Chains A and B, each alone.
Chain A
Amino acid sequence: MAGILKDLRVLDFTRIAAGPFTTRMLADFGAEVIKIQSSKMEGGLESNTAPYFCAWNRNKRSITLDMGYSEARELFLQLSKISDVVVENFSPRVMPNWGLDYRKLQSVNKKLIMLSMSGMGHTGPLKDHVAFGPTVQALGGLTHLTAYSSEDPMGVGYAYADMISGLYGAIAVLAALGYRDRTGQGQFIDLSEYEAVCTTLGPSLTDAFINMREIGPVGNVDIHRHAGPHGCYKCLGSDRWCVIAVYSDDEWQAFCRVIGDPAIKEDCRFSSAQNRQKHRQALDSLIGNWTRRQTAEKVVKRLQQVGIAAGVVQNAEDLAADPQLVANDFFTTLDHPVLGRITTDTTPVKLRNNPRGRWKASPLLGEANYYVFGELLGMTETEIRSYIQKGIIA
């Protein structure tokens, strides 16, 4: 495959979302990503024809290995020898139990970069804790804070932590590659998804620490700047909403002109951003009376025309047809051998001088066994067939 990372080979021993997102970023930019699967572990979200699998594993190859066999572990070692990067997201005990910790892999490939992505990191008292995205979102403070009130934590409606962790994984690997090229040194990278979530709450953590105060949820209020209004308002239609953020006095004047209600403009409770924040409930209810009679699209258009930050609360259907996303080529289709034509998002990373190459759909289970074990490792067809029969390549 062409692309910036065309000379890079990545062994991908990851599952579900965080790890596969890291390796997908590398595959999207041309790396040869070889995903190691096994028919024993295939199923659910990791089934090769599950839409979830297809989304996170496009542009990759697939091989199968049953790691219960010493021959399979030996093949893994041989593959590490001819790879630049190994990414895994098992719990910290798994790779060492197979005798495949970084020390071992480095003994066959000194320049190897190994990224281990776990919930808690490979050290510390909680290292063996079981964690998924929602687990670390709760542990990191994001679930408590994403709520209307402290009595009713809501959290984020998806495994956001997996995405953040996946991004950090790609960044860590790419940075370590530059370092390897310069110094000849490989790296072991121990990434903690729990820590990844915490980095997105930096200023509030510092605030809690130095001001010794308890920080609670704020709903849709801006925690950084005095703004008013700053919230989400009901619009015409079923479950249709818009958001409006007014910061400066100029914006407030413009907002009052659009809303055209002298009672709001002249109300002294709303004379400054600070006052508007203080009398938020009264203001929000007046604005709600105005927005509920119009479509979200119309409210937003009228406000943006006078330079006010406003937005439509879009759902998945809106996003798929969003003129901005469509015009900027954010979605594409891929042809999958079993599922046919599937639609997927691309990537927000758009490089003008490196346009997107030809992408391919996610692989079927073990589709690259002959290529990887035959062409790359030099096994004969008979050997491969015998390994398949014994259940090693399976």
Chain B
Amino acid sequence: MGHNSYLEDIRIIDLADEKAEFCTKLLADLGAHVIKVEKPPGDASREMDPFFRAKNSSHHSLSFFCNNTNKHSITMNLGHTGDRSKFVDLIKKTDVLVESLPPGYLKDIGLAYDNLSQINPRLIYVSVTGFGQGDPRRNYKSCDLVAAAYGGQMYVNGSPLREPLKSFGDQSYYTASLFAAAGILLALRSRDQTGKGDHIDISLQESVTATLEHVMIRYFAEKVIYRRQESLHWNDEFVVLPCRDGFMNVTLLQHWETLIEWIDTEGMAEDLKDDVWRDERYRRTHRNHIVEVVGNWMSAHSVDDLFQKAQLMHFPWSPVRSLNQVLECPQHKARNFFIEKKHPDLGVTLKYPGVPFKTSSKG
């Protein structure tokens, strides 16, 4: 038995839309019994791109498919009193409720945490919203774009000569979903000790700000307002440069002598062999010239060739891969990372990422 039975005795009611669907999907993948409650004729996230063969119908949404694996689905209209009382009955036998409706919506129909915790004091009630349950912006509308802007992610992505750039996909929904999942597991542990449930309040904006790595740390310590600088990493180590057949993410300041020796064996190191370049501070202040010389050398090589050789010398270099290349990656194949499932309606086998860890009870 492994991680797919970690949560096998936990029942989750899922009222989440695209903002937190991944949270309940992950918990379902870890063995929880997740029941998705959809309002007829079905969740709006069933209408989301991308679709199977560009067919825009509720059976064809690949994003819905990916974010709802291992869940069960029932339909209920919580606007109707009959369905609402059935829902309350269900809550009595539920461990966790995850919702991402606008703040106050469930309160208006008598389904706030304060109502439901009276019926089931052990209930863990999770709300994932754009700005959390608190003012001043609780009623502001949000989406991944707004969360990325308000959370501080966009300002540090992209070119300084252009508009800030959102990370690809719905990253704020994934980070918020992961924080929510961690919160649920903590609340479950707390409940084991106290017998009491909890209300967890997750904000998309905070989830973005909390995952900016260096950005707030450097502001609080040094008042640095970090600004986007294309592919150059904040520590000025990593940068993306073109090769003959694609792009590589490379480090230009570390492993200096090994790197120059390598380039020199091909007679392309130019003046970088000079002693003055051995000084890291000099390299940092003259990095444009390094980019020029190393870039020139790289453009004569293939991505795979450089990747293999660089890694043999323990350089943390990697190709800038496309998704089709990710799908074909031998590492993913060896670890059976992708899961293949036949879709019940489409009749085709779909492939999607599994959980990013392997577990065993023996070493």
Q: Which residues of A contact B151 (CB under 8 A)?
A: 314, 319
Q: Which residues of A contact B351 (CB under 8 A)?
A: 205-206, 209-210
Q: Which of B2-10, B262-270, B272-280, B282-290 lies at the binding interface? A: B2-10
Partner of B152, one of A137, A182, A314, A351: A314
Nearest Cβ on chain A to B217's Cβ, whole angstroms:
4
A352 at the interface (CB under 8 A from B): yes
Q: How far is the CA of A132 from the CA of B155 in the complex (A)?
A: 22
Q: Which residues of A contact B219 (CB under 8 A)?
A: 316-317, 319-320
Q: How far is the CA of A121 from the CA of B333 in the complex (A)?
A: 12
Asked, given contacts A103-B363, A148-B162, whether A210 binds B142 with beta carbons under 8 Å apart, the answer is no
A389 at the interface (CB under 8 A from B): no
Q: Tell me the residues in window 39-84 of chain B with beta carbons closer than 8 Å to chain A beta carbons.
A: 47-50, 52-54, 62-63, 65-67
* Pairwise interchain contact A4-B213, C-beta atoms closer than 8 A: no
Q: A148-170 interface mask toward B, CB cutoff 8 Å, 1 = contact, 0 = none? A: 10001111111110111101101
A contact residues, total (Cβ < 8 Å) = 149
Q: How far is the CA of A101 from the CA of B363 in the complex (A)?
A: 7
Mostly, the B contact residues are mixed
Q: Can you name the residue of chain B whose Cβ is closest to the Cβ of A199? A: B353
Partner of B229, one of A157, A225, A322: A157
* Pairwise interchain contact A324-B131, C-beta atoms closer than 8 A: yes
* Pairwise interchain contact A352-B199, C-beta atoms closer than 8 A: yes
Asked, given contacts A135-B317, A200-B171, whether A223 binds B66 with beta carbons under 8 Å apart, the answer is no
* Pairwise interchain contact A51-B164, C-beta atoms closer than 8 A: no
Q: Can you name the residue of chain A whose Cβ is closest to the Cβ of B27? A: A175
Asked, given contacts A131-B318, A167-B178, A351-B198, whether A315 binds B227 with beta carbons under 8 Å apart, the answer is yes
Q: Tell me the residues in window 335-357 of chain A with beta carbons closer than 8 Å to chain B beta carbons.
A: 342-345, 347-354
Q: How far is the CA of A183 from the CA of B54 in the complex (A)?
A: 46
* Pairwise interchain contact A157-B157, C-beta atoms closer than 8 A: yes
Q: B20-42 interface mask toward A, CB cutoff 8 Å, 1 = contact, 0 = none? A: 00100010001000000000000
Q: How far is the CA of A106 from the CA of B360 in the complex (A)?
A: 12
* Pairwise interchain contact B356-A191, C-beta atoms closer than 8 A: yes
* Pairwise interchain contact A351-B135, C-beta atoms closer than 8 A: no
Nearest Cβ on chain B to A294's Cβ, whole angstroms:
16
Nearest Cβ on chain B to A334's Cβ, whole angstroms:
11
Q: Which residues of A contact B12 (CB under 8 A)?
A: none
* Pairwise interchain contact A17-B213, C-beta atoms closer than 8 A: yes
Q: Which residues of A contact B179 (CB under 8 A)?
A: 167, 347-349
A266 at the interface (CB under 8 A from B): no
A215 at the interface (CB under 8 A from B): yes
Asked, given contacts A154-B158, A158-B234, whether A175 binds B6 with beta carbons under 8 Å apart, the answer is yes
Q: Which of A34-42, A70-78, A325-333 lies at the binding interface? A: A325-333
Partner of A145, one of B162, B168, B183, B331: B168
Q: How far is the CA of A232 from the CA of B153 in the complex (A)?
A: 13
* Pairwise interchain contact B318-A135, C-beta atoms closer than 8 A: yes
B97 at the interface (CB under 8 A from A): no
Partner of B326, one of A17, A141, A162, A168: A141
Nearest Cβ on chain A to B309's Cβ, whole angstroms:
12
* Pairwise interchain contact A171-B198, C-beta atoms closer than 8 A: no
Partner of A4, one of B143, B190, B322, B358: B190
Q: How far is the CA of A202 from the CA of B209 in the complex (A)?
A: 22
Q: Which residues of B contact A263 (CB under 8 A)?
A: none
B332 at the interface (CB under 8 A from A): yes
* Pairwise interchain contact A185-B361, C-beta atoms closer than 8 A: yes
* Pairwise interchain contact B141-A320, C-beta atoms closer than 8 A: no
* Pairwise interchain contact A314-B165, C-beta atoms closer than 8 A: no
* Pairwise interchain contact B363-A106, C-beta atoms closer than 8 A: yes
B352 at the interface (CB under 8 A from A): yes
B98 at the interface (CB under 8 A from A): no
A187 at the interface (CB under 8 A from B): yes
Q: Which residues of B contact A155 (CB under 8 A)?
A: 157, 231, 240, 249, 320
* Pairwise interchain contact B3-A147, C-beta atoms closer than 8 A: no
Q: Can you name the residue of chain B whose Cβ is closest to the Cβ of A125? A: B330
Partner of B156, one of A158, A177, A201: A158
Asked, given contacts A124-B334, A309-B141, whether A205 binds B327 with beta carbons under 8 Å apart, the answer is yes
* Pairwise interchain contact A154-B231, C-beta atoms closer than 8 A: yes
* Pairwise interchain contact B169-A313, C-beta atoms closer than 8 A: no
Q: Which of A59-67, A237-245, A374-382 lies at the binding interface? A: A237-245
Q: Which of B85-93, B200-208, B292-300 lies at the binding interface? A: B200-208
* Pairwise interchain contact B335-A124, C-beta atoms closer than 8 A: yes
Q: How far is the CA of A207 from the CA of B54 in the complex (A)?
A: 10
A391 at the interface (CB under 8 A from B): no
Q: Can you name the residue of chain B whose Cβ is closest to the Cβ of A101? A: B363
Q: Which residues of A contact B66 (CB under 8 A)?
A: 202-203, 206
Q: Can you name the residue of chain B whose Cβ is closest to the Cβ of A301? A: B140
* Pairwise interchain contact A178-B188, C-beta atoms closer than 8 A: yes
Partner of B145, one of A182, A211, A220: A220
Asked, given contacts A134-B233, A158-B214, A203-B63, whether A223 binds B198 with beta carbons under 8 Å apart, the answer is no
Partner of A171, one of B157, B181, B360: B181
Q: Which residues of A contact B238 (CB under 8 A)?
A: 132, 134-135
Q: Can you name the residue of chain B whose Cβ is closest to the Cβ of A45? A: B235
Q: How far is the CA of A102 from the CA of B363 in the complex (A)?
A: 5
Q: How far is the CA of A200 from the CA of B324 in the complex (A)?
A: 15
Q: Which residues of B contact A4 (CB under 8 A)?
A: 186-187, 189-190, 193
Nearest Cβ on chain B to A247's Cβ, whole angstroms:
8
* Pairwise interchain contact A189-B205, C-beta atoms closer than 8 A: no
Partner of A164, one of B165, B211, B212: B211
Partner of B357, one of A190, A231, A310: A190
* Pairwise interchain contact A330-B319, C-beta atoms closer than 8 A: no
* Pairwise interchain contact B165-A327, C-beta atoms closer than 8 A: no
A-B interface, 8 closest residue pairs, ranked by CB to CB distance from nearest:
A103-B363, A102-B363, A51-B221, A195-B356, A157-B156, A145-B168, A316-B219, A203-B63
**Can you list 30 A-B contacts with CB-CB less than 8 angstroms, sorted by A residue number?**
A29-B186, A101-B363, A126-B330, A129-B318, A131-B316, A135-B249, A142-B168, A158-B214, A160-B213, A164-B178, A164-B211, A192-B356, A192-B357, A200-B169, A208-B327, A222-B144, A224-B63, A232-B149, A242-B149, A245-B143, A309-B145, A313-B164, A324-B131, A330-B206, A345-B210, A348-B210, A349-B186, A351-B200, A353-B194, A353-B196
Apart from A157-B234, A188-B363, A215-B323, what are 19 other A-B pairs with CB-CB below 8 Å?
Answer: A130-B316, A139-B318, A141-B326, A143-B231, A147-B165, A159-B233, A163-B210, A168-B355, A178-B189, A192-B337, A204-B168, A224-B63, A242-B149, A317-B219, A317-B225, A320-B216, A320-B219, A324-B150, A353-B199
